[in-house]
Amino acid sequence: ELSCRPLIEDGVHIGSVNLFTDITERKAREDELVQQATTDPLTGLANRRRFMLEAEHELARVQRYNHGESTLLMIDLDHFKDINDNYGHSAGDAVLLHLADLLRHNLRALDLAGRYGGEEFVILLPSTSADEGWRLAERLRLALAHSPTDFEGRAITVTMSIGLTT
């Protein structure tokens, strides 16, 4: 950060005093606060607030330019309560983390995955048709069904239901 003050002597500007301040730590704290305000603490995905804001921006973009379409997927893990009841909440957390990793590895850089709440996730697919969205949804569904979560040496198989809209 730079602060400048004029040096005036007898009403004449004779120079300036410049003060440089290192704001590295302050910027790091600000970045951390933004991260905490926009990210789900367990999965590292966008939280509901950030997701809804980005979805509103994408809707405005699609409406303004009136071309192409974007797709929204809503994911719900099937029988998630049973996982928490049978294996404990740590196992449920492991399943949520497993799904978050699966989403990160199957989405494009411009897509946005978020945790909507509990075991509900949402995915925003800009410039994506319904057919492309359905293909991705099916690929994600099969990937999760065929890759159990490893939790303390146990394989926990999970399925999900996916809704789609453009």
Cβ-proximal residues to 19 (8 Å cutoff; 6+ apart), any chain? 2, 3, 4, 5
Q: If 0-12 CB within 10 Å is exposed, 13-18 middle and 19+ buried, where does residue 141 land?
A: middle
* Catalytically annotated residues: 119
End-to-end CA distance of the chain: 45
Cα(48)–Cα(120) distance, integer angstroms? 10
Cα(47)–Cα(117) distance, integer angstroms? 8
DSSP tally for the chain: helices H, then strands E? 5, 8
**What b/e readout covers 17-32, taking b as 16+ CB neighbours within 10 angstroms?**
eeeeeeeeeeeeeeee
